[in-house]
Amino acid sequence: MKNSRESGVSGQWSVVSGFLFLLLVTVHFFPFTDFAASEDFRKRKSQLKESFTANEDIRAEIVFGRELSARILGRYKLYDDKKLTRYINLVGKGIAQYAGRTEIEFRFAVLDTDIINAFAAPGGYIFITKGALKIMEDEAELSAVLAHEIAHVTERHIVKELNIKGTDDSPAAGLARILGGGTETMRVVFTQMVDKAVEILFEKGLKRQDELNSDRMATITTANAGYDPVALKRYLKKISNNEEKTEILTGTHPSFGERIDNLDSFLEKNQLSDKKQPFLKERFVENVKIK
Amino acid sequence: MRKKIINCSLIIGLLLSVPFAHAADLYVQSVRAPIFLEPTLGSKRLTESVKGELLKEMDKKGDWYQVDYKGVNGWISRLLVSTKPPLGKVSILEETEEMLEKGARKRASAFATAAAARGLAEERARISDKYKVDYEGVEWMEALKIADEEASQFLQEGMEK
Amino acid sequence: MLKLNSGRQSVVSGQMPLLTSYSLLLVIFMLITHHSSLITEVFADEYHYNNIIIGDRASGMGGAYTAISDDASGCYYNPAGLIFASGRSLSASANVYNYFKKTYKDVLGGKGWERVSSNLLPNYFGIIQPLGQGIIGFSYAVPDSRLENQKQTFYNFPGIDPTTKLPLTITKYVINMNDTDYSYNFGPSYALKIRDNLSIGTTLYLHYRGRELISNHFLAVDDGRYEWRNVYDSLTEWGLKPMIGMIWNPLDKVSLGLTVSQNYVFNTDKRIQITYRGLDYGITNPAYEVWESTDGRKLPLTLTLGGAYFLSESLLFSADVSYYTDSNYTVTYKNTSTGATASGSIPQERTLNIAIGTEYYLNERVAMRGGFFTSMANTPKLFSGKTDQPEHIDMYGITFSISQFTRSSSLSLGGSYSLGTGEAQPYTGSTAIKGVEMQNLTAFISAAFTY
């Protein structure tokens, strides 16, 4: 009796191990497709990154962006021209309506410096230098440069670059957590984060990929808004000939050559190279009068 | 007995399948979102949908969704739509004003939150002396207010010139 | 000759005089012998393998979770799925209420006999976190539990005299009983990804079962005789339950899971203490006996194959098929004072259970789940003309739950209801087959937390 029972059990195991072996063989020889690189299909709606990027996170971004803006304005003085700033805001907010994140109130200001550059802080604070405005010839170029900065905000490039890991891999959530922490340690961490963001803006630069991506998104936004889609490329070509004033820009951005090539292929792919849309040169010249 | 259970299962199945019927809904996220004839920016612009509007997804191609919008069949950029309705404007500054309209009970806490967020942030700044700061400049920038409608009209005027 | 009534066609060798002589209780009701004879481990429902559904999401989906298994409750269903969990997480669930009712129809003088168990206990706790290349987890599960309290009195129903075989009337029959029976599994899990679309995992559970039954029966006959029996029955059982699992994604949105597990019981202690006063007129000294056994259960090898289709980020479907091999074991009890033995063999048939489930997210904060499952009897179908056959009830159930999510946590409320009808032979030594109905209702609340 005992013997027969035991052989019964081992018989079961041989069936199982045979089955497992067959299965492993099947798995081994199965023609694999490249989908498998991601198991994203498992993610349920409640687990998606965007799902809980709620108001508190956006608020954290704004608080953070405000801090960063104060440092940008601490470095480059604000160009205190209400009429010009109003114009920049009208153009900026106009194209921002064609960018994804409508929950953010975008604000634009001019920096009193001759270097050619533009900056974006999280939460919608966007700066353009007097030097950049001087070299522009029309509103399409202005809108393209602003759209590039808007893309940095909508895509949360700086927040991502800070690498604050939230519970669900959402960097903004991490920011909100630090902000909500309220302890002295958290304050120090927050300040360090802002300082780190300053370094990214002025020294290190964002990821090459983020810059190229923002160029493409800016092209989409300007094209959608109705401006000349080639404006950003025109602007980049111009500043590439102005190397000495853009040394900071070239230090923190990919080379102009690479950016222009990237735009060329993007314009081509989207059949935008020859699309004729307004430049709005007159309105620009009328509003932007910088000595 | 089994019949009862089968009936129950059917009811649950039906309940679950009701919301499934409109699973491929897309909400416009940008204030405006043009719809094109083909899945490329260079193609003809058919019409423009506006923020919060519901579009029915029919097909997908790269960065584009084919949608049906008020009987117009076209393509919309993936960047401008999402499966969730868009959020309202979020601000740490205007919140107090918004809340004033929503009644007194909420006001106090909302005011405290916004004020705390600002106060806290500025207090934090003092911990760092690494960089010069200019909060007045930021406030000057925030003081300039332009409504979306005004910016929208300004853009329109430019395009019609 | 005593029949071991949880054994099928059980064979008993040896004499147990005090249990069999003059006993009206034993002769009349096999139901009652469940509580007063040797084989008392039946009521935690060894006739079924799928008694309690475990886990936060799985409970709502009929337990069809082998191909999903991607949270802390994956330790229990398929450890290979842990690899897909997003970070560290913790999951706990509590059965708010478990209600079980079994009704034997047309017994005890046509009145029917009901047995009810209800209890409240946390049935799962699991925690997982990354370790090295994989994910490590630890979990605790209660796959089966019963808490039965009974006090019931029946009046004036017919019986048969055990010695003369003449009919008589039982004027009063009082049952007082308390039965607690819990099984616990606890232990570690580890999961590893071995290639892009294939992961494996293992869980090693330590199994513990503890049972304690105290029952008191009093019976009076119209001719002035009476019978009384008090039983204290305890069982402790230790086992090791290894499970190995794998999850394979052969196609986009499709996941297949497989698990193999078996519970090896390595230590069993059974003790039955009976104080008994046989059917008689006068007052005689009550008899006292203790029977012991260390023979463990042989539990079946379980193979579960699951599939899941993740149609969209809002909707998924899943199904599991579980196969349980047949098994057979012998239990021998020994009388501690006389050395007499009694034994019987207990076979279990091959059994197949299925579960299907679906989950739908109304939005990112609310999800609904529904499921269907079976819990088939591992006993053979009853044949007419035979006696002392174990009952056979196939159960079918539905589940439902709703979850509310925040960024890092979820709270679920749900319930399951299963129902089965089948056949039983309530009378010892009789070929009569009676209908039996079983219902099981569970309400649960569970929470999961990612940190």
Say whether pLDDT at B80 is over 60.
yes
The one-character DSSP state at C159 is E
Is C450's CB within 8 Å of A167's CB? yes
Q: How would residue C2 be classed by pLDDT, with cut points 50, 70 and 90?
A: very low
Annotation: CATH topology of B22-82: SH3 type barrels. (2.30.30)
Residue B33 neighbours by CB under 8 Å, 6+ apart: A98, A224, B48, B49, B50, B51, B76, B77, B80, B81
Of A252-256, C27-31, C34-38, C327-331, least confident by mean pLDDT is C34-38
Where do the structural domains in chain B lie, given as residue ranges? Answer: 22-82, 95-160
Note the pLDDT of residue A142: 96
Chain B neighbors (3+ CB pairs < 8 Å): A, C
Q: Which residues of B touch A198 (CB under 8 A)?
A: 130-131
Sign of CA dihedral C14, C19, C25, C29: negative
In 3D space, the residue among C158, C280, C177 whose CA is nearest the CA of residue C231 turns out to be C177
Tell me how far apart the alpha carbons of residues C245 and C243 are, in angstroms, rounded to a whole number: 7
Residue A38 neighbours by CB under 8 Å, 6+ apart: none
Note the pLDDT of residue A22: 66
Please name the member of B89, B118, B154 whose beta carbon is closest to the beta carbon of A90: B154
Tell me how far apart the alpha carbons of residues C77 and C304 are, in angstroms, rounded to a whole number: 9
Q: What is the ipTM of this complex?
A: 0.74
In a 3-state reduction of DSSP, which class is residue C52? Answer: coil
Of A130-139, C147-156, C330-339, least confident by mean pLDDT is C147-156
Residue A110, token pair as written in the block: 């001019």
For the stretch C174-215, pLDDT in tens is 888 888 888 999 999 999 998 888 999 999 999 999 989 888
Residue A271 neighbours by CB under 8 Å, 6+ apart: B40, B41, B42, B43
**Low-confidence residues of chain A: pLDDT under 70:** 1-39, 48-55, 163-186, 243-252, 291
Say whether pLDDT at C27 is over 50.
no
CA A164-A168-A171 angle, 5° bins: 25
Residue C22 domain flag = no
Note the pLDDT of residue C208: 96
Place of tokens 């893309």: A151
**C408 vs C416: which has the higher pLDDT:** C416
Say whether pLDDT at B9 is over 60.
no
Chain C neighbors (3+ CB pairs < 8 Å): A, B
Strands C409-424 and C264-280: unpaired
- Return the HEC string of chain A: CHHHHHHHHHHHHHHHHHHHHHHHHHHHHCCCCHHHHCCHHHCCHHHCHHHHCCHHHHHHHHHHHHHHHHHHHHHCCECCCHHHHHHHHHHHHHHHCCCCCCCECCEEEEECCCCCCEEEECCCEEEEEHHHHHHCCCHHHHHHHHHHHHHHHHCCHHHHHCCCCCCCCCHHHHHHHHHHHCCHHHHHHHHHHHHHHHHHHHHHCCCHHHHHHHHHHHHHHHHHHCCCCCHHHHHHHHHHCCHHHHHHHHHHCCCHHHHHHHHHHHHHHCCCCCCCCCCCHHHHHHHCCCC
Burial class (CB in 10 A: 0-12, 13-18, 19+), C198: buried
**Residue B75 C-alpha, separation from nearest chain A C-alpha, in angstroms:** 13
Chain A neighbors (3+ CB pairs < 8 Å): B, C
Tell me how far apart the alpha carbons of residues A136 and B75 are, in angstroms, rounded to a whole number: 33
Per-window interface: B 34-93 vs A, CB < 8 A = 34, 40-43, 51, 77, 79-80, 82, 84, 86-92
Note the pLDDT of residue B116: 47
Q: Where are the beta strands (DSSP E) in chain B?
A: 25-28, 32-36, 45-50, 54-61, 64-69, 72-77, 81-82
For the stretch C225-252, pLDDT in tens is 888 888 888 999 999 999 999 999 988 8
For B12, the enclosing helix (H) or strand (E) is helix B2-20
> Do C211 and C235 meet the contact criterion of CB atoms below 8 Å apart?
yes
Beta bridge partners of C236: C210, C269
Residue C47, token pair as written in the block: 């006739």
Distances (CA, A) of C285 to C280, C282, C288: 11, 10, 9
In a 3-state reduction of DSSP, which class is residue C303? Answer: strand
Tell me how far apart the alpha carbons of residues C308 and A129 are, in angstroms, rounded to a whole number: 55
Q: How far is CA C310 from the centre of its chain?
A: 32
> Do A46 and C364 meet the contact criterion of CB atoms below 8 Å apart?
yes
Is C410's CB within 8 Å of A16's CB? no
Note the pLDDT of residue C289: 83
Sign of CA dihedral C322, C328, C332, C333: positive
**C117 vs C235: which has the higher pLDDT:** C235
Is B5's CB within 8 Å of C398's CB? yes
Note the pLDDT of residue B124: 47
Distances (CA, A) of C29 to C36, C99, C151, C343: 10, 24, 17, 20
- Return the HEC string of C395-428: EEEEEEEEEEECCCEEEEEEEEEEEEEEEECCCC
Q: What is the DSSP string of B108-142?
A: HHHHHHHHHHHHHHHHHHTT--SS---HHHHHHHH
Note the pLDDT of residue C20: 40
Distances (CA, A) of A195 to A202, A253, C34: 11, 19, 75
> Do C342 and C13 meet the contact criterion of CB atoms below 8 Å apart?
yes
Share of chain B above pLDDT 90, in %: 11
Q: How would residue C38 be classed by pLDDT, with cut points 50, 70 and 90?
A: very low
Q: Minimal Cα distance from C364: which residue of B? A: B84
Where do the structural domains in chain A lie, given as residue ranges? Answer: 50-287
Number of domains comprising chain C: 1
Q: Can you give the CATH number for the domain in which C353 is found? A: 2.40.160.60
Note the pLDDT of residue A252: 65
Residue C31 domain flag = no
Chain C contact for A48 (CB, 8 A cutoff): yes
Please name the member of B1, B13, B15 whose beta carbon is closest to the beta carbon of C421: B1
